[in-house]
Amino acid sequence: MENRVEKQNSLQAILYKRGSLQLLDQRKLPLETIYLDVQDANDGWVAIRDMVVRGAPAIAIAAALSLAVEVSNLKDFSGTSDDAASFLGKKLEYLVSSRPTAVNLSDAASKLKEVVSKAASTAKDTTGVFQAYIEAAEIMLQDDVASNKAIGSYGARFLLHQLKDFDRISVLTHCNTGSLATAGYGTALGVIRALHAEGVLERAYCTETRPFNQGSRLTAFELVYEKIPATLIVDSAAAALMKDGRVNAVVVGADRVAANGDTGNKIGTYSLALCAKHHDIPFLVAAPLTSIDLSITSGEEIVIEERSPKEVLHARGGLGEQVAAPGIAVWNPAFDVTPADIISGIITEKGVITKNGTEDFDIKGFVRKATSNS
C-alpha cells in the first residue's frame, strides 16, 4: 500500500514501530517521497528484490523487521516453541534468497536463528520465542546507527592522519552508502558526513552509479539535503577527476568483505580502485563488521547478483523509456570484486583495518580482537 508522506526530502529509509513497518520507496527518489507498508516477510522479500530498499545494512534490517511485523500481528499460532523457531527459521531462509551478494542479510538471519533456537529451549510457550525474535530484530535497527557513527568517526580520523599535508580533503564515493542504505547516517557517506562536520571536507564527489543511478538519485539527494559541498560526475569521469588532482581519497561501501579483504561492492568499484592505485590515492572501504564474511577466503567465492537487462536498456534503471538499441545483448552484474591488494584500508565501527606495513590484511585477527573486547 502506498503512503505519501507530508514531510518531503526524508532521508529515513525505514520507519518502524512495533507491529508496523514502512519502507521509503527508493525507486521514486529524488522526485517523490512515498512509503510502502510492509506487513510480512513476503512483502519484505518483494521490497528487497525490487529495490524499494537497497544497500547492504538496510536490506538486512528491513528483512528482519518485516518478519518482526508479521510475528507481532500473528493472530494465533498453534504449535510448540520448537515449531515457532522452525517457522521463523524458514521465513528467514526465504528472506535471504531475495538478493545474494550482501552478506549482512545472511549474517542477520543466522544471528536471529540463534536467538530463536536459544529462546525455544528456554521459553515456556511460543510467545516467548516470538518476543525474543522481535526484540533481537529491533536491536539490529538501533545498533546500526551507532555503528555507522563510529565508522564515520574512525574514517575521518584515519583520513586526517593519512592526509595531514592537506588543509582540506576531497573525497570521491560510489553508489549510495548513506542514511538511505542503512538505518541512518551511513558508512562511506558517514565518513564524508564526519569530515564535513569537522570542517575539513573540501568537496564530496559522487558517481552517477549506472545503471540504477544510486549515486545521482540517492547520494546526490543526501548531499544536497545535508548541504555538503558536492559534485556529481558520470562514472567514466572518475579517472580524469583523479588525474586533475581533485580527489584526495576514495571511500566506498561493501556488500561482502572476504577473509583476505577482497571486497564485493557496487559494479564500478573495482575500476575506481584501479584508477586510485594508478594515481596514488588512498582507496578505502567503509563497512560494519556485519559485512565481513570470514567463511570465505577470497572474493572468488562472492556470488555476484546479475540483474535484469532492462535496467541497462531503459532509462531510470529500467523504470523509464527504452534508450538502448533494441536487440542488443546485455551483461548486467550488480556488483564486482576489488582485490585486497589495491585496498588501502577497511574502516569498521571498531577501527581501521590496515596492512600494518605487511602485504596482507589480518582481518580474522582484527575481528577476533574487536569482538572479544565488546
27 binds ligand MRU (CB under 6 A): no
Among 253, 268, 282, 317, binds ligand MRU (CB under 6 A): 253
Q: CA dist 79 to 13, 87, 337, 358, Å? A: 35, 10, 44, 55
Instruction: Choose which of 98, 265, 344, 354 interacts with ligand MRU (CB under 6 A).
Output: 265
Which of these segments, 54-62, 127-135, 162-170, 232-240, binds ligand MRU (CB under 6 A)?
54-62
CA distance 184 to 140: 12
Among 184, 84, 73, 203, smallest CA distance to 133 is for 84
Q: Ramachandran region of residue 12, left (φ > 0), alpha (ψ -120 to 50) or beta?
A: beta
Name the closest residue to ligand MRU (Cβ): 253
Which of 61, 102, 112, 159: binder of ligand MRU (CB under 6 A)?
A: 102
165 belongs to the catalytic site = no
Strand partners, 358: none
Partner residues linked to 246 by β-bridges: none
**Dist. CA 344–CA 356, nearest whole Å:** 10
Burial 131-149 (b: 16+ CB within 10 A, else e): ebbbebbbebbebbbebbb
**Which C-beta is closer to ligand MRU: that of 115 or that of 340?**
340
Does 248 bind ligand MRU (CB under 6 A)? Our answer is no
Q: How many residues bind ligand MRU (CB under 6 A)?
A: 17
Helix (H) or strand (E) holding 15: strand 14-17
Residue in 25, 43, 107, 255 annotated catalytic: 255
Confirm or reject binding of residue 255 to ligand MRU (CB under 6 A).
yes
Told to check if 184 binds ligand MRU by CB under 6 A, we report: no
Binding status of residue 183 toward ligand MRU by CB under 6 A: no
214 binds ligand MRU (CB under 6 A): yes
* Member of 27, 54, 91, 217 binding ligand MRU (CB under 6 A): 54
Nearest-angstrom CA–CA distance, 60 and 105: 4
Catalytic residues, by residue number, are: 255
Interaction site with ligand MRU (CB under 6 A)? 54-57, 102, 175, 177, 181-182, 187, 214, 253-255, 265-266, 334
